[in-house]
Structure 1
């Protein structure tokens, strides 16, 4: 059946094209498996809460914007009748009835792994003609915004330039009483009764209240202004939009922006743990995260009931924590062709869960063809990165591009372009890095105080635990480009590592004991056929490689809005740089998990196409493009 929603309709109507509903929620209360909800042009200020689930891939419930019509779902309300105070400051007195049982100006940004300023921040927001303000802690700071505490001092190594310095003078403060919430804001000379001012009211825009609402498609909307909470892996993880611990959602062709914390959530819910480290204070978050994995498994967390989502062709920007977040609920999903930017650069708060995409336990997740830039951290995968493939993504202008943490593989990182000054933080093992272009600092670290789980291949069943010893990585056919003043570009940080499993085993068993032996011997690494330019340094035992220490390729990403290009120069030797096409048969199995590099269905993987999906020859050029040549290369990358 097909239901229609229009701003000219009525919820007392029949939901037909001729007699449409007024709200999307009315349609969501009656649409069942196989139905389609078509929403017509307009701004819908509501939190859509699907009531019924689809039953299979072929019996979905589809919510879509009418073709050629602009449909906006907002978690905000348009507020008028502001009263002047002084010094460009205005106030609006609002009945708490407007907020119901969720007042974002009372709700705090709160939870595990949050590191914020001394002042408490809240989930509310004020927008002037679409521009979000910054919260201050007192009325006095409205007059003098420079008095507010800066989060910059807490960022230490994470600091990146403030992207919106002009916004820092647009500030707000809330006084929440039992009956009224009074909002004060410095509009810097603008008249809020003549301009367009909105405030956060709802937590989400499209998110079921119940779990298990499977097989939903959401397509073609603009969604914005949700008062989403901080979403660590040890808590309920609601987003502006998300499936809420369900299976088989498709979120596609949407424009999503201005989520206070996270935009799209494919994460866990509260019954497996909800900020216990912060609330109880008796155990570290690491321990509670371990418990959440086991609790989820006992509750039926598996491929048959959770995950397998598709997130594609969305534009996501201006969010405080993540564009896409998820723990446990992200398994077996595919995330591709999304444009993600301006994530966590407003810097009102900060914590250890911030990135364009931040996933824990991305078992058999495929992340490909995404464009991620101007983020505090581009892509951060953490815990149980197993069967994961990160392929053909473009990273630029991030503080860090890619961070892999405390996992044991197998994980394939192939044909990516990483160009930020801080390109790769590898705090994992069991990776295969093939045909990438890496033009920034690389960090490699062990973690010998946190064991994390690994699984039976292509399953959520836990097979064991391990520390992150470092190594057990494969680097083939990559191009590394150094930059002046940057250390650690290349593979030289694997100095003294063994180069085969046989060598590793022989060395270990020259010692006496058990656990301590394995901590003393460096795991094998498999490194060959890489090129190193402009100061990038190779692994000392790499047999076949090319080093042009003084050659600067003058790499740049040229952003022209709707189109973008990569510019790179290569020396004469580029004509002779070849590497084999890699596959399951050429990538040695990972040691700890005892698993092969393969597709989620268990079939052999073959890395035979480049960044542009062009086929590779049996022996092809290095890096993410099969067409690179000596001299200047100018390649369209979006």
Structure 2
């Protein structure tokens, strides 16, 4: 018989956990709850790391943790500190015994790991004044320096360069740790930290099991923040502020998650399959260790039966240093939708190649749709083994880059998205289908001929082979490309010189004798038709049917109006005369390397027949994400 446990700030862990006799801590309830039970947490602030002990047994026999209806429940990885001593000027200090932190002291733990770049030492700790995160400096003297040096990867030179944040330049902290104590110094710029709310990171996570295999957990309706999460590359353990820890079937919904030092939500790998060996051992490239992690995971039972199949929906995620959502291997067969993700990796105290609003590796059959992702260092990054993945009806804007597809072989579908940043996406992959999107930023297309990456049997974690990314084998149908006077890389012209059918490709490959070298020299086929190109966007030179209006400027813009987001654009009269076919399994050519069709995760035929709002598309309909777009001025509410 299912039991409903209650937790409240007036409870006791010696109680029975019933509504009239609640527990005091969520962890106490977690030690009792078993499959089918529900833990209801009542209003208040809970400073603890919830470590669920028992798994659910199936989707129908979950363990559910939820905030009581209409009550605000906040879970924090921090502690409030109220014994600050004034040192000089605006600089204060607090000295804590190391025992205060237990076995995990964020002020001795550094941001460390594979593919990380930094301008100096950064710890997992942080200081918050009324919820505002400070910047760490490396010496006491810098506490009085008005400029805060941070780092950023310059995408053109591929070098780390220093930058200065102008908004929080004087709110800084510094730490000194010895065998017995941890001293934290901070510049509060005139505020009295003993009168204001001042908190410091203490715990690694807010809701994360210590062991793997804690399946079928639901976490609903909480606000969670201020966890000292470590750097989470695909070659390491990947804990988040909240995460499934190599389990199956979690639902994380209706939460507000913010101020994680690195990653907010994790559906990634665990420690036994590799833990920053590139940085620790230094004997092989991270790429090699990442390959090994795939096979280590297979030996550990990586499969649909054991991990993945998570649902992440209706969450608000912001102010995190690395990722809003992260996952390698453990993200398979999941669904991520209706999330609002913003202000990710903009603080830039550290930087690396594993940063994005959503950063996934091995996103097999993952469905990502109807998310709002803005003001992020990178919006969405799908890296390695993107197969059976669909990215649909998402809104991207004000990101440094909107999207990055890397070293994957498909098939995957990118449809009905709005990519509104000045840098739209990097395509370092092959085997994609880009359908009915608006793309109005810089596009970069590259081959990757020094990293052979895995591909899989359809809808499976079984490895079928390896391949380099030769470029091409992509499909572009029914998209709207909008150029810019300062951009010359919007559109599909970077495919000029590519073949346009598998038959043509095979014929060219076999013009002379040879094997591997012949396949390397001939450009893979691309399938490009029925796209619109405005304001200088450039078309593929073998596209048969399209609308090219070089001089027409749609005056495209995004406007935030309260909690709503609107899209403004103009379309020429000729637009209403151009129609593209609905794409489906039957119309999309199979991908060459993987030899697989575009399908739904269950193997059924896919039909890309719903627009951005879910409206049914007729067999032939207008280009772009909106079935009801019209010539002239358009004002479309796209969020809220």
Q: TM-score, normalised by structure 2?
A: 0.98
Deviation at 1:163, TM superposition (A): 9.9
Q: Conserved in 2, the CA contact under 8 Å of 1:456 and 1:462?
A: yes
The equivalent of 2:169 in structure 1 is 168
1:332-371 equivalence runs, <5 A: 332-371=333-372
The equivalent of 2:81 in structure 1 is 79
Residue 38 (structure 1) aligned to one of 37, 40, 46: 40
The equivalent of 1:441 in structure 2 is 442
Deviation at 1:180, TM superposition (A): 1.0
Q: Conserved in 1, the CA contact under 8 Å of 2:149 and 2:164?
A: no
Give 3-state SS (helix, strand or coil) of 1:234's partner: coil
Q: Conserved in 2, the CA contact under 8 Å of 1:252 and 1:314?
A: yes
Distance in 2 (CA, whole Å) between partners of 1:281 and 1:567 is 51
How large is the RMSD of aligned CA atoms in angstroms?
1.3
1:516-535 equivalence runs, <5 A: 516-535=517-536
Deviation at 1:564, TM superposition (A): 1.0
Give 3-state SS (helix, strand or coil) of 1:592's partner: coil
Q: Aligned in 2, Cα 1:145/1:152: closer, same or farther, shift over 3 Å?
A: farther
Deviation at 1:76, TM superposition (A): 0.3
The equivalent of 2:59 in structure 1 is 57
Give 3-state SS (helix, strand or coil) of 2:494's partner: helix
1:477-516 equivalence runs, <5 A: 477-516=478-517
Distance in 1 (CA, whole Å) between partners of 2:76 and 2:263 is 15
Is 1:379 the counterpart of 2:341? The answer is: no
Is 1:151 the counterpart of 2:151? The answer is: yes
Q: Conserved in 2, the CA contact under 8 Å of 1:75 and 1:205?
A: yes
Is 1:634 the counterpart of 2:635? The answer is: yes
Distance in 2 (CA, whole Å) between partners of 1:551 and 1:89 is 57
1:230-629 equivalence runs, <5 A: 230-629=231-630
Deviation at 1:162, TM superposition (A): 7.5
The equivalent of 1:202 in structure 2 is 203
The equivalent of 1:127 in structure 2 is 128
Q: Aligned in 2, Cα 1:473/1:436: closer, same or farther, shift over 3 Å?
A: same
Bigger drift between 522-531 and 613-622 goes to 613-622
Deviation at 1:177, TM superposition (A): 1.4
Q: Conserved in 2, the CA contact under 8 Å of 1:99 and 1:201?
A: yes
Q: Aligned in 2, Cα 1:153/1:609: closer, same or farther, shift over 3 Å?
A: closer
Give 3-state SS (helix, strand or coil) of 1:167's partner: coil
Distance in 2 (CA, whole Å) between partners of 1:154 and 1:600 is 37
Give 3-state SS (helix, strand or coil) of 2:212's partner: coil
Residue 28 (structure 1) aligned to one of 30, 43, 54: 30
Q: Aligned in 2, Cα 1:462/1:152: closer, same or farther, shift over 3 Å?
A: closer
Q: Conserved in 1, the CA contact under 8 Å of 2:394 and 2:418?
A: yes
Distance in 1 (CA, whole Å) between partners of 2:100 and 2:41 is 25
The equivalent of 1:228 in structure 2 is 229
Distance in 2 (CA, whole Å) between partners of 1:19 and 1:469 is 64
Distance in 2 (CA, whole Å) between partners of 1:162 and 1:393 is 30
1:343-382 Cα deviation digits (max 9, x unpaired)? 0000100000000000000000000000000000000000
Distance in 1 (CA, whole Å) between partners of 2:130 and 2:93 is 17
Q: Aligned in 2, Cα 1:527/1:490: closer, same or farther, shift over 3 Å?
A: same
Deviation at 1:156, TM superposition (A): 5.9
1:301-320 Cα deviation digits (max 9, x unpaired)? 00000000000000000000
Distance in 1 (CA, whole Å) between partners of 2:198 and 2:537 is 51
Distance in 2 (CA, whole Å) between partners of 1:161 and 1:492 is 34
Q: Conserved in 2, the CA contact under 8 Å of 1:163 and 1:345?
A: no
Deviation at 1:155, TM superposition (A): 6.8
Q: Conserved in 2, the CA contact under 8 Å of 1:262 and 1:324?
A: yes
Q: Which runs of 5+ in 1 are unaligned?
A: none
Deviation at 1:97, TM superposition (A): 1.4
Q: Conserved in 1, the CA contact under 8 Å of 2:152 and 2:162?
A: no
Q: Conserved in 2, the CA contact under 8 Å of 1:155 and 1:350?
A: no
Give 3-state SS (helix, strand or coil) of 2:409's partner: coil
Q: Conserved in 2, the CA contact under 8 Å of 1:308 and 1:332?
A: yes
Distance in 2 (CA, whole Å) between partners of 1:168 and 1:471 is 45
Distance in 1 (CA, whole Å) between partners of 2:347 and 2:513 is 54
Aligned residue pairs total: 636
Distance in 1 (CA, whole Å) between partners of 2:217 and 2:431 is 35
Give 3-state SS (helix, strand or coil) of 1:484's partner: coil
Bigger drift between 556-565 and 129-138 goes to 556-565
Distance in 1 (CA, whole Å) between partners of 2:316 and 2:460 is 31
Give 3-state SS (helix, strand or coil) of 1:211's partner: coil
Give 3-state SS (helix, strand or coil) of 2:601's partner: coil
Distance in 2 (CA, whole Å) between partners of 1:593 and 1:340 is 32
Bigger drift between 241-250 and 159-168 goes to 159-168
Is 1:92 the counterpart of 2:94? The answer is: yes
Q: Conserved in 2, the CA contact under 8 Å of 1:394 and 1:416?
A: yes
Residue 110 (structure 1) aligned to one of 112, 122, 135: 112
Give 3-state SS (helix, strand or coil) of 1:278's partner: helix
Q: Conserved in 1, the CA contact under 8 Å of 2:149 and 2:163?
A: no
Deviation at 1:150, TM superposition (A): 3.7
1:127-160 Cα deviation digits (max 9, x unpaired)? 00000000000000001143x5442476766899
1:434-480 Cα deviation digits (max 9, x unpaired)? 00000001000000110000000000000000000000000000000
